[in-house]
Copies of this chain bind each other. A is one copy, B any other.
Amino acid sequence: MNCLEKRILRDGVVKPNNVLKVDSFLNHQMDVQLLDEIGAEFHKRFADCNITKILTIEASGIAIACSVARCFNVPVVFAKKSKSINIDGDVYVAEVESFTHKCKNQVVISKSFLNKDDRVLIIDDFLANGCALQGLISITESAGASVEGIGIAIEKGFQIGGTIIRNLGYRLESLAIVDEMDAEKGSVRFREQG
């Protein structure tokens, strides 16, 4: 069992409707030491990929992405969820539906920060239905860059996102895959990974 799985068992809270609250350490309050352990683990797993850029999406992916980027000594780029007046018109765009927030967002990345020579590691905190990831993959490929890997902190294994992304042939590593949760018992069952 890795550091994140242990922490989920200790401090995660299972709520009805398959909500796993990890907001005391991962996506509202954040334990930077844990983030750095997660960063080191992704660095180990993708060390052979010659990563040139870490790509994530605001907001809760940013903290993990920075810890990963520090290990690889490469920049982070985060996709923005609405078009700001500070982003030039020259952007890559994808439409992303959020499972958590029940809404659609356009996510954009300035064309200045992704190019055909980039070898991209996509990082995010959660993977559920995979829509956010599909948007980031779409943007990466629009830039002519390559998706070398995808690192997710917590995958909801009982939702379709992970299966879709793996079926598409991407190298997806999730530190914790939750296959079952029970709000009444407060229990979480992780998928065993080799």
Residues of A within 8 A of B (CB): 19, 21, 23-25, 28-33, 35-36, 58-60, 62-63, 66-67, 69-70, 73, 75-78, 80-82, 84-87, 100-102, 109-110, 112-113
Give A121 Cβ to nearest chain B Cβ, in Å: 14
Give A107 Cβ to nearest chain B Cβ, in Å: 12
B-chain residues with CB within 8 Å of residue A31 when the two chains form the complex = 75
Provide the bound-state CA to CA distance between A67 and B63, in Å. 9
Interface contact B59-A28, CB-CB below 8 Å: no
B-chain residues with CB within 8 Å of residue A78 when the two chains form the complex = 28, 30, 59
Interface contact B80-A36, CB-CB below 8 Å: no
A sample of 16 more A-B contacts (CB under 8 A), given A28-B109, A29-B110, is A19-B86, A21-B86, A28-B77, A28-B78, A28-B80, A28-B113, A29-B113, A30-B75, A30-B77, A32-B66, A32-B70, A59-B59, A59-B78, A82-B101, A85-B101, A86-B100
Provide the bound-state CA to CA distance between A19 and B85, in Å. 9
Give A32 Cβ to nearest chain B Cβ, in Å: 5
**Copies of this chain, tallied across the complex:** 2
B-chain residues with CB within 8 Å of residue A28 when the two chains form the complex = 77-78, 80, 87, 109-110, 113
Give A147 Cβ to nearest chain B Cβ, in Å: 18
Give A26 Cβ to nearest chain B Cβ, in Å: 11
B-chain residues with CB within 8 Å of residue A19 when the two chains form the complex = 85-86
Interface contact B63-A76, CB-CB below 8 Å: yes
- Closest residue of chain B to A108, judged by CB? B28
Interface contact A59-B80, CB-CB below 8 Å: yes
B-chain residues with CB within 8 Å of residue A102 when the two chains form the complex = 85
* A19, A63, A81, A100: residue with the most chain B Cβ atoms closer than 10 Å: A63
